[in-house]
């Protein structure tokens, strides 16, 4: 086998990359995110210190999912509190 043929057979074939193992992806710590003294730059440096690009993408997806969940929760609370506000306002105006 010639050296050119050997080189061709060693080349990588492009294709989808396998998903990283769940243990390799840094976990999103909601407890740390909600602390009053939370510092995003420190959190990211510590959490992503030795993460690979694929794992960082998965971590980002986890952060995005957490943001969406928090947004839905906030929206529910606003509607619930608005309903109470309207009820109380009507009670006060009828006094």
pLDDT of residue 12: 52
CB 28 within 8 A of CB 62: yes
pLDDT of residue 36: 92
Please say if the pLDDT value at position 21 is more than 70.
no
pLDDT of residue 71: 94
pLDDT of residue 17: 53
Band of the pLDDT at 25, cuts 50, 70, 90?
Answer: confident
CB 57 within 8 A of CB 26: no
pLDDT of residue 16: 54
Among the listed residues 39, 20, 29, 21, the one whose alpha carbon sits nearest the alpha carbon of residue 62: 29
pLDDT of residue 79: 86
């Amino acid at each position: 086998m010639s050296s050119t043929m050997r080189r061709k057979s060693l080349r990588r074939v492009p294709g989808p990359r396998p998903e990283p193992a769940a243990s390799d992806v840094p976990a999103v710590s909601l407890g740390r995110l909600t602390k009053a003294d939370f510092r995003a730059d420190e959190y990211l440096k510590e959490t992503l210190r030795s993460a690979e690009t694929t794992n960082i993408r998965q971590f980002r997806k986890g952060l995005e999912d957490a943001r969406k969940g928090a947004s839905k929760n906030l929206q529910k609370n606003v509607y619930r509190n608005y309903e109470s506000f309207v009820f109380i306002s009507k009670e006060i105006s009828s006094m």
